Amino acid sequence: GQNIDQPTEMTATEGAIVQINCTYQTSGFNGLFWYQQHAGEAPTFLSYNVLDGLEEKGRFSSFLSRSKGYSYLLLKELQMKDSASYLCASWGGGGNKLTFGTGTQLKVEL
């Protein structure tokens, strides 16, 4: 089966750094995705990790530990526009399926 856990809400200050954690249990694991979703819009791709380690892409970085079933998304130099829901999704379980977590609603404050 598939199981994804991430915090429901987080609040951070503009200019700060925030880390959003995700744990997963996925059979046939093929990778871990992070998406950003603004209200009323479809998710937009942020990152994909399949090997252990840190992937850095501008202000956003994503980390994966396959042995621990753990990932995090790191957002640096937070901006107000980063206020959104961040979805962790595991790829696997046969049929190239994505299983989404409930999403973490991030609120960036002044």
Partner 1 sequence: GAVVSQHPSWVICKSGTSVKIECRSLDFQATTMFWYRQFPKQSLMLMATSNEGSKATYEQGVEKDKFLINHASLTLSTLTVTSAHPEDSSFYICSAYTSGFNEQFFGPGTRLTVL
Q: How far is residue 39's CA from residue 65's CA, in Å, rounded to a whole number?
A: 30
Nearest residue (CB) to partner 1, 76 versus 100:
100
> What would you measure as the largest C-alpha separation in the chain, in angstroms?
44
Site track 23-52 with partner 1 (rule: CB under 8 A), x = hit: --------x-x------xxxxxx--x-x--
The nearest distance, CB 93 to partner 1, in angstroms, is 10
Nearest to 10 by CA among 59, 77, 82, 69: 82
Which span sits near partner 1 by CB under 8 A: 17-25, 51-59, 73-81, 98-106? 98-106
Bridge partners (DSSP) of residue 85 are: 37, 105
Nearest residue (CB) to partner 1, 70 versus 100:
100
